[in-house]
Amino acid sequence: MSLLKFTISSLELTMNKVSSDQELDLIVWSLIQGSSNALDFLDYLRHTLNRPGQQEEAFQAASKFWANKNEPRQFDKAVAALEQMAEEGNEMAMFHLGRWYRLGYGVN
């Protein structure tokens, strides 16, 4: 599978129209794929468990960056994007944000 990249304007447009798990997963992947912190990819793998997504790429990146767990995290951008979408009334984002909070993402 190829890595997906969104421009800021296309990401904002896409965020407003998310209506499936797969669409949301693509947004999350686009926000973390440039990370060098293994924990971002482990979070993605937990998020996409039992769903199609970029699991192989995430697993490879987590393995590659295993020693870089102190590098800046990118998954916080995904949490912020879901919070914005939920505030705008997106039910898919509300559901996943609740699930993420339960898993500890975005909770200090």
pTM of the entire structure? 0.77
Q: In the chain, how many domains are there?
A: 1
What does the pLDDT read at residue 99? 86
For residues 40-53, average pLDDT:
87
Is 1 contained in some domain?
no
**What integer best gives the mean pLDDT of the chain?**
82
For residues 18-31, average pLDDT:
87
Is 2 contained in some domain?
no
Domain boundaries, position 52: 8-103
Is 38 contained in some domain?
yes
| Residues near 108 by beta carbon (within 8 Å), at least 6 away in sequence | none
Tell me phi and psi for residue 80, to 5 degrees: -60, -40
